[in-house]
Structure 1
Amino acid sequence: MTKVQKPGTLLAGITGLYIAQSVIGGVTWTSLPAVMREAGVSLDRIGLVSLIALPWVLKFLWAPMVERYRLPRNGGNRSGTIVIFGGLASAVGVIAAGVLDPANWMSLFAVLVVVAFAASTVDIACDGFAVQSLAQKHHGWANAAQVGGAYLGSAVGGGLFLYLVGTSSWQIAAWSMAALVVLLGLPFLFVAARVPTEQSREHVPSLLHSLRRPALRQGLFAAAIFVVALKVSLGMIGPFLVDAGVDLATIGILNGTGSLVIGSAAAIFGGACVRAWGTKPVLILALILQASLLSLLAVSRITEALPVSVIMIIAIASSSGVMAFGFVALYAQFMRLSDSRQAGVDFTLFQCADAAVSIVGGVIAGQIAEVLGYGIFFSAAAALALGAVPFIAKVATQESYSLSVSDDAHVAP
């Protein structure tokens, strides 16, 4: 298998794509709920934002087809072609979203689902290209590019975007993000164009092989429990801050700072803890920390005893700090359980399980918050996180890992 001769150039290219994907994710799952709430959309409708992640749930269905097209039996590597068309489709979709009124949530959701399909397809090609093109000794740097790119993209999509909405307009903010997505994808095209042609290939990815493995099925179960416990409150934090009187520009700065500074620091700290302790203690600690923070949010809503500044600190610690800390360990589990012969397919299955649970949890979260209020919702979410601890303690593995972590979002964390 041919390797790219200059790993630094390759890393710059794939980092740009990871940032671009996370910009889209940050706009969709972090910024959009807050913008919709300010536009007067009800919480139960805002909870439906999670449905936009549907292509990220289902991308395992077309991942083998993407890989077979990207690496044909005979011919050159087509990663650049996939990125060109997927990237342009994503940018055009974001431009179209900018024309729509955020209160017109059905049309907006339809456009963003198309964007999510294009971005998730690019993600399949990007991950496969990185693993194929980098020598094994550089794989850790590729994972660092994923982590850094994800948090930087989230800071832009969840922070800068909201700031632009608050200080200018929804349209200008959306069109700025579309231009950024195009620019971030350009370095990868130069890298992909330099890959030597391979004339013949033999391996064909198989979903059936993945699903037959008991270890992978157990990993999917553990992922489902952890994701719903840690992420169920994520989509309601933005609307909660809006209802608490925090303006969109301030929320944008808060999200950007949290993703870029707190999230990155928590990810590095989480990686060090995984290396020292193994994944199980880190997963359990993340659940306990999340339960504690959500309990404080519930108390703040019920008693109104905490000032807004303290609520903002608690919210960002939950949505960026604990989330990054915990998901480093979860993705270390994913890497550990992936079959090296078809790691792309296995890893995609784990990512899709993450997205599927996030969708269901987000929809249910919106319904509960709308009917019962934030106080009961955050109390229930805290109880769920604490109740997941014994299950994770039972199904999670204990092995420690070298400091090599990965992140989606895509979807935000």
Structure 2
Amino acid sequence: MQAESQRQSWLRFLTDPKLALMLALGFSSGLPFLLVFSTQSAWLREAGVSTQHIGLMSWVALAYSFKFLWAPLLDRYDAPFLGPLLGRRRGWMALTQFGVALCLAGLAFGDPAHRLAWTIVFAFCLGFFSATQDIMIDGWRIAVAPPEDQGEMSAASQIGYKFAILCAGAGALYLAQFVSWRAAYLAMACMMAVGLGATLMAPEPRAHIVVGPERHINVIAAYRDPLRDFLQRNGRFALLFLALLSIYRLPDFLSGVMANPLYIDLGFTKADIANVTKLFGFWVGLGGIFAGGVAVTRFGLMPSLLIGGIAASASHLALAELAAHGADIRFLTVSVCVENFAGGFAGTALIAFMSSLTSPLYAAAQYALLSSLYALPGKLLGGLSGYAVAAIGYPAFFVATSCIGIPVAAICIAVWRVQARQSAASGQPEAA
């Protein structure tokens, strides 16, 4: 019976048009991320840009952390030009996808070794358009499918996102190795056609659409209502939950900025990096995501969140060992396996935790707020990571990032106790 149910679930995943569209939109959402962050850092380092400047360049991706500032407005107002033609959500999605493609093309014609300012401008715009696209794709997913289908929609989105990461990581590095960085970024710009095609074929949802034109932007209500709802539901423990979000993935954000520069400085080729970190690491990361999902279902949310936080932080000790040992493809493979598996596990637990804090009534605005908050401290401090490496070296830097797991574990335990008391007071079992 269970096997038959699983077979029917896979058949629906393969035949449901909404899931196919979500797969393509997830791909479109994930494609720009590495190109404005990790992959670009390899290009910058190869061009001779200092680690200090590479660390500062990570700030161009701060749009992902501040997207909550304009997310509520996108739910209420149409996109210019395309909104009346395609609808509110599809109009914004198409507009931002055009913007991402144009910015990738702009980066392709840049020369970071001699015109770094050009690269900074287009990278900043790419981060803005990409973050805005994420807002609208999340909003479309929530509005177009009922709550009982959101699990499958989220799974389709994550699968598409992961394959986009593979293309923007390994694919771009291969093209850069055997052709040029310009060819790599132009190819990625063309691949945005996948998301644009899905947007044009997608149905425009009716839910969450304000009826009738609004002449004045009600900024106060747009930001007040989602925040007030969150604070009322979580009370005095809201700040504790937000503190956990802000620190949980901090070690990964700090180490992620310096990982590719480490590989380049150790002497690994772009093909080596692509083979191990993007291709092999891709499947290991998927294994970590699967293991995290099983753990949340079987053992509960908070135990999985605690294990993931400790594992993700401790995994950076493998990078410290690689930096101390030197260029050895075996050490590179082990460190990537450990970090990707732990990161996938922790990411799955964190998404489940953020979803548990979100109200269905304000899902888009609140999820944008929470997802921005968990990335903001890492983005800000990540800009200084290059100075830290220059001061103390790669091994000590990665040991220091792993030590952040100590306060992560402490806050996880505190949140676990709070949620256990809340569940006991309401007479309900702890939510998984």
State TM-score, norm by structure 1.
Answer: 0.87
What SS does the aligned partner of 1:175 have? helix
* Alpha-carbon distance in structure 2 between the residues aligned to 1:194 and 1:263: 33
Contact 1:163 1:253 in 2 (8 A): no
Question: How many Å apart are 1:157 and its aligned residue?
Answer: 0.8
Superimposed CA distance per residue, residues 235-293 of structure 1 (whole angstroms, 9 cap, x where no aligned partner): 11111111111111221232322453111121011011011112222232223333443
Question: How many Å apart are 1:12 and its aligned residue?
Answer: 1.8
* Alpha-carbon distance in structure 2 between the residues aligned to 1:108 and 1:67: 31
Q: Which residue of 2 aligns with 1:11?
A: 19
Q: Which residue of 1 aligns with 2:241?
A: 219
Q: Name the amino acid aligned to 1:337.
A: L
Contact 1:55 1:116 in 2 (8 A): yes
Contact 1:13 1:191 in 2 (8 A): yes
Select which of 315, 337, 344 maps to 2:335. Answer: 315
* Alpha-carbon distance in structure 2 between the residues aligned to 1:115 and 1:349: 20
Q: Name the amino acid aligned to 1:97.
A: L
Counterparts in 2 of 1:390 and 1:154: CA distance versus 1, 3 Å: same
Superimposed CA distance per residue, residues 281-334 of structure 1 (whole angstroms, 9 cap, x where no aligned partner): 2232223333443223323433x2x76123212332254221111011111110
Mapping of residues 119-198 of structure 1, within 5 Å:
119-192=130-203
Question: How many Å apart are 1:184 and its aligned residue?
Answer: 2.9
Matching of residue 48 in structure 1 with residue 56 in structure 2: yes
Q: Which residue of 2 aligns with 1:344?
A: 364
* Alpha-carbon distance in structure 1 between the residues aligned to 2:159 and 2:181: 27
What SS does the aligned partner of 2:112 have? coil
Runs (5+) with no aligned partner, structure 1: 1-5, 403-413
What SS does the aligned partner of 1:212 have? helix
* Alpha-carbon distance in structure 2 between the residues aligned to 1:311 and 1:345: 42
* Coordinate RMSD, CA, aligned: 2.8
Q: Name the amino acid aligned to 1:374.
A: Y
Matching of residue 94 in structure 1 with residue 104 in structure 2: yes
Q: Which residue of 2 aligns with 1:240?
A: 262
Mapping of residues 260-299 of structure 1, within 5 Å:
260-299=282-321
Contact 1:230 1:287 in 2 (8 A): no
Q: Which residue of 2 aligns with 1:411?
A: none
Counterparts in 2 of 1:75 and 1:200: CA distance versus 1, 3 Å: farther
Counterparts in 2 of 1:166 and 1:11: CA distance versus 1, 3 Å: same
State TM-score, norm by structure 2.
Answer: 0.83
Greater Rg by CA: 2
Mapping of residues 22-101 of structure 1, within 5 Å:
22-70=30-78, 77-101=87-111
Q: Name the amino acid aligned to 1:217.
A: L
* Alpha-carbon distance in structure 1 between the residues aligned to 2:67 and 2:202: 25
Question: How many Å apart are 1:192 and its aligned residue?
Answer: 3.0
What SS does the aligned partner of 1:192 have? coil
What SS does the aligned partner of 1:91 have? helix
Q: Which residue of 2 aligns with 1:407?
A: none
Contact 1:13 1:185 in 2 (8 A): no
Contact 1:225 1:392 in 2 (8 A): no
Q: Which residue of 1 aligns with 2:425?
A: none
* Alpha-carbon distance in structure 2 between the residues aligned to 1:7 and 1:200: 33
Question: How many Å apart are 1:96 and its aligned residue?
Answer: 0.5
* Alpha-carbon distance in structure 1 between the residues aligned to 2:70 and 2:104: 23
